Structure 1
Amino acid sequence: MSDVPSFSLGGKVVVQFGGTGVLGRSLVTALAGAGATLIVASRNRDSLASLATKEHEAGRTVHVDEVDIGSEASLQALRDRILATHGRIDGIVFNAVSRPMKSYDDNLAAWQASMDVNATGFFATVRAFGDAMVGQKSGSIVNIASQMGSIGMNPWLYEETPMQIPPDYFFHKGGMINLTRYLASHYGSHNVRVNVVSPGGIYNPDQPQAEAFVTRYGKMTMLGRLAQAREIGGSVVFLLSDASTYVTGTNIAIDGGYTAK
């Protein structure tokens, strides 16, 4: 093995769950641009078709497939299709998220619906694909959490705005961070690495944030601003690549210094 670290994903088969949001689209471009054979999976294959077309036009290879994260059978079927086609799975990126809960006072049914994807679905996904990596004695799992999994809510950020941050988001992102540590321990002896990245607030041009929030959020960071979606992908590529072969059980904060300030 060369002593020069390789950040390339060339020759690696990577599955990304969740690809249509502002961060998901940016991750697709980053992973495909790094050379991965990328399969993007969601419940609605058609919603990914235009994304795949744009990536192909840019000279990057992206495949799309259908999966219901709430169904273990669907996840296993997707895994088996990918193995039958590509022969191996070198990495997964869990970026899927469901946001049925809108406020603290929402019906408990919304909380339960959130857990079906963000807790049970997350675990089912990692177990189905992590177990496949055990058989090949290699693999890298990267989970997309949030800085909100490591801190409490700051009501000041949302004053003078209509924005609400429901409690389920804090619950499942915090749980994702610590379950990542458990999974890293569980799979470590099989040379399967499990890490998590925790982005801070990301500017979304499709849904502009309230001016008061943008100003206040910037004051909470060391860099004085929200992130751009393209600034998250580099850490994910690193964790999937052979440049990070001794990195596991780690949470990388990509938050402009918010949680360190």
Structure 2
Amino acid sequence: MSAELSGRVAIVTGAAGQYGRHISRALAGAGATVVIASRQLDACEEFAAELRDEGASAVAIALDQADESSITTFVGEVIDRLGRIDVLVNNAVLRRGGVPAETTYADWAATSTVNSTGLFWLTTQVAERMAAAGRGSIINIASIYAMIAPDFSLFEETAIAPTPPFYAFDKAGMLGLTRYFAAYYGPSGVRVNAISAGGLLSDAMDPAFIAGYSRRTALRRPAGPDDIKGPLLFLASDASGYVTGINLPVDGGRTL
């Protein structure tokens, strides 16, 4: 069975960012109409236009995951404009603070509002509509840091700032929510899974960090832009029709 998504509508949150763009292109390439969602509407509209110029189907709709009314309005607008929601990819993440002593109360509250509360509210709104339709796939983009602690010696070797504590906390919670929603909405035909992604290569990445990170993976390299494509399309499509509640590490063996 192929990872065919023609005629389906897929929401990608945080779609204007690096990972979001790779995810959106993968879904669009499989035939889905992709909803490019982010607080940065101008960036979303520009990216959606870029996808349309390439022959894909994409629309941009504003979403502020820190605002309950924005989430509710967003979901309603997707339904009004496109008539259905088949796939939700929870990719948005707000980053604030640093190591524990450098993270303020306000930093923690802000990240929790988006990465936990907003995630829950959006996923619930979408899952209820999927359940009413009797189908749907929700994919939560988690992290290796939901599974293991950061190796702080790696950050000491480079100019890259260590992973903040909120990130481990929120991504671990995302895995718990994945299992909960999979069990709760499974009888209604809604599948909920997670991908725990490893480090994604970017042009701005410190070469020393790339070398150090690569030594810590079984495949001796960070993730490239295409590495998430196959796992994502598998979970989004009918190819994984009997798969729910799992966490799929896409990390080159970093968490072995």
Shorter-normalised TM-score: what interval? Answer: over 0.9
Give the equivalent residue in structure 1 for 2:140. Answer: 143
- Identify which of 84, 94, 115 aligns with 2:112: 115
- Identify which of 93, 96, 100 aligns with 2:89: 93
Unaligned runs of 5+ in 2: none
1:36-51 superposed matches below 5 A = 36-51=32-47
The residue identity in structure 1 corresponding to 2:30 is A
3-state SS in 2 of match to 1:40: strand
Give the equivalent residue in structure 2 for 1:161. Answer: 158
- Please give the alpha-carbon distance, in whole angstroms, between the structure 2 residues aligned to 1:185 and 1:130: 12
| CA deviation after TM superposition for structure 1 residue 156, in Å | 1.4
The residue identity in structure 1 corresponding to 2:128 is D
- Identify which of 236, 239, 251 aligns with 1:240: 236
Give the equivalent residue in structure 2 for 1:63. Answer: 59
1:171-186 superposed matches below 5 A = 171-186=169-184
1:101·1:114 contact (CA, 8 Å) conserved in 2?
A: no
3-state SS in 2 of match to 1:62: strand
The residue identity in structure 2 corresponding to 1:86 is L
User: RMSD across aligned C-alpha pairs, in angstroms?
Assistant: 1.1
- Please give the alpha-carbon distance, in whole angstroms, between the structure 1 residues aligned to 2:146 and 2:118: 18
Give the equivalent residue in structure 2 for 1:77. Answer: 73
Unaligned runs of 5+ in 1: none
- Identify which of 178, 200, 203 aligns with 1:202: 200
1:124 aligns with 2:111: no
Give the equivalent residue in structure 1 for 2:215. Answer: 219
Give the equivalent residue in structure 1 for 2:31. Answer: 35
1:197·1:254 contact (CA, 8 Å) conserved in 2?
A: yes
Give the equivalent residue in structure 2 for 1:15. Answer: 11
1:26 aligns with 2:47: no
1:27·1:230 contact (CA, 8 Å) conserved in 2?
A: no
1:217·1:226 contact (CA, 8 Å) conserved in 2?
A: yes
1:97·1:117 contact (CA, 8 Å) conserved in 2?
A: yes
Give the equivalent residue in structure 2 for 1:170. Answer: 168
* Count of residues in Structure 1 that have an aligned counterpart in Structure 2: 254
- Superposed structure 1 runs of 4+ greater than 6 Å apart: none
TM-score by length of 1: 0.94
Deviation string 1:126-146 (CA, Å, 9 cap, x unpaired) is 001001111111111001001
| CA deviation after TM superposition for structure 1 residue 230, in Å | 2.1
- Please give the alpha-carbon distance, in whole angstroms, between the structure 1 residues aligned to 2:94 and 2:132: 30
TM-score by length of 2: 0.96
The residue identity in structure 1 corresponding to 2:112 is M
The residue identity in structure 1 corresponding to 2:170 is H
Q: Identity of paired residues, percent? A: 39
2:40·2:62 contact (CA, 8 Å) conserved in 1?
A: yes
